[in-house]
């Protein structure tokens, strides 16, 4: 997002004008930013065979998936519906990794029928899988390295009390299941959490995976998940991708020598690829003052952007309509019948009713977690691609709320 002649733009497209064209609230994504993030990651790991499996759950719009496919990304999916979305977007089944959690064996069998790579994180399901398929279907196993990492406990998935992955301390149990059913294990996987700053976290977890890998003789890849931290505030510390690429690539190549052949390194970035591409545009409904606080109430709420309420996440908030106004302190809130505070005591250019308020870092886990709470309609999405704004999801209408309801006579 650039400020040009007192107007905020993306690729030369005026954001305030977009709200006049498509209404408010509105999600907007910058294709150039997604492409730049992908290039940065692949360049940092250019010395190894590496695949990027975009974490579909971060932003599932089919046009975003097609954009990522066009630049060389593959997919990580966590539900059969995400798998179906990926196939609809043009991905080949072998480009899709399916990593479910706490699903039934019937959904996993459906994924097998679709031909995607299966990644299992539960011994019970692994046994059921073995009983059904034996060595006829390759499988990846998700391990929990018992490393606490991430910016919030709700997004830390590799700690000892996590529901994700099979404990590394159960490795011998895993091996017994694999040997009993003759499973064809071609990959090992881990994911420790999000917002990881230190390359040493990945290196510690990698050492655990490398040691476990010695028990599996037919591996083709090791999947390191993701969790790279992006910037939310000015001067935020972020994951040094170049340092991580250098250190982890060196460790990986050393492991491959010891293992006896070159394997592939996989990553599953979601937030890293799309978070900074997104901006959420809202309009100021009211400016309300109390004896202690000046509230800016916008035409959205936790129904459209739940991350601040769910994760205490920080989104920079900007008044696009008054870039040169006097700085004042506001608390920005939504219109939902809950305490849906987007930002507490934020310094912003003076706000008037009708001003367009933007939330940055709204590309990941924003629209994809939106709901119809309070019977509110979901907003449209726009992708700015090669300097042109393209509508990639239309705004819902009231009929969308009642489409699947069945009225009965009472």
Helix (H, G, I), strand (E, B) or coil at 219: coil
145 within 8 A of 190, measured Cβ to Cβ: yes
* Chain centre to alpha carbon of residue 400: 26
372 within 8 A of 378, measured Cβ to Cβ: yes
Phi and psi at residue 81, in whole multiples of 5°?
-70, -40
Q: Which two tokens stand for residue 167?
A: 């404990």
Phi and psi at residue 58, in whole multiples of 5°?
-65, -40
Tell whether omega for the bond before 179 is within 30 degrees of 0, i.e. cis: no
Q: How many whole angstroms separate alpha carbon 314 and alpha carbon 151?
A: 11
Annotated ligand binding at 278? The verdict is: no
Q: Which two tokens stand for residue 29?
A: 């994504």
Annotated ligand binding at 311? The verdict is: yes
Q: How many whole angstroms separate alpha carbon 192 and alpha carbon 224?
A: 9
Annotated ligand binding at 365? The verdict is: yes
- DSSP conformation letters of 3-72: EETTEEEETTEEHHHHHHHH-SSEEEEEHHHHHHHHHHHHHHTTTS-EEEEEEGGG---HHHHHHHHHTT
Annotated ligand binding at 335? The verdict is: no
Catalytic site residue from 77, 102, 140, 337: 337
What residue spans of 195-347 are helical by DSSP H?
Answer: 199-213, 241-259, 271-274, 307-311
Is 337 tagged catalytic?
A: yes
**Residues making up the binding site for substrate:** 307, 311, 338, 365
Q: Which residues are catalytic?
A: 337
**Residues making up the binding site for pyridoxal 5'-phosphate:** 227, 365
**Residues making up the binding site:** 227, 307, 311, 338, 365
């Amino acid at each position: 997002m650039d400020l040009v002649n007192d107007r905020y733009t993306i690729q030369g497209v005026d954001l305030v004008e977009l709200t006049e064209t498509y209404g408010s609230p509105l999600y907007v994504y910058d294709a150039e930013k997604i492409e730049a993030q992908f290039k940065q990651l692949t360049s940092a790991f250019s010395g190894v065979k590496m695949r990027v499996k975009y974490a579909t759950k971060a932003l599932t719009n089919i046009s975003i998936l097609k954009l990522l496919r066009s630049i060389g990304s593959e997919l990580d999916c966590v539900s059969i519906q995400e798998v179906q979305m990926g196939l609809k977007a043009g991905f080949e089944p072998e480009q899709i990794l399916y990593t479910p959690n706490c699903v039934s064996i019937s959904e996993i069998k459906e994924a097998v029928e679709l031909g995607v790579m299966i990644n299992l994180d539960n011994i019970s399901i692994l046994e059921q899988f073995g009983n059904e398929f034996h060595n006829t279907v390759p499988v990846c196993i998700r391990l929990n390295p018992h490393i606490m990492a991430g910016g919030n406990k709700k997004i830390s998935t590799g700690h000892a009390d996590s529901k994700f992955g099979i404990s590394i301390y159960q490795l011998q149990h895993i091996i017994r299941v694999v040997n009993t059913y003759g499973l064809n294990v071609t990959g090992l996987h881990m994911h420790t959490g999000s917002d990881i700053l230190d390359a040493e976290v990945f290196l510690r977890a990698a050492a655990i995976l490398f040691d476990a890998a010695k028990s599996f003789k037919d591996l083709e890849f090791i999947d390191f998940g993701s969790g790279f931290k992006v910037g939310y505030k000015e001067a935020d510390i972020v994951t040094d991708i170049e340092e991580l690429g250098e250190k982890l690539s060196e460790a990986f190549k050393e492991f491959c020598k010891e293992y006896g052949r070159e394997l592939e390194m996989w990553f599953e970035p979601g937030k890293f690829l799309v978070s900074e591409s997104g901006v959420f545009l809202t309009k100021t409904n009211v400016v309300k003052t109390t004896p202690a606080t000046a509230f800016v109430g916008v035409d959205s709420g936790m129904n459209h952007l739940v991350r601040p309420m769910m994760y205490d996440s920080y989104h920079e908030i900007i008044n696009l309509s008054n870039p040169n106004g006097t700085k004042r302190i506001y608390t920005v809130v939504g219109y939902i019948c809950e305490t849906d505070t987007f930002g507490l005591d934020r310094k912003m250019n003076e706000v008037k009713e009708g001003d367009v308020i933007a939330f940055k870092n709204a590309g990941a886990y924003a629209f994809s977690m939106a709901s119809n709470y309070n019977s509110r309609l979901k907003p449209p999405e726009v992708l700015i691609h090669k300097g042109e704004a393209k509508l990639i999801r239309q705004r819902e209408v009231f009929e969308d709320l009642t489409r699947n309801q069945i009225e009965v006579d009472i």
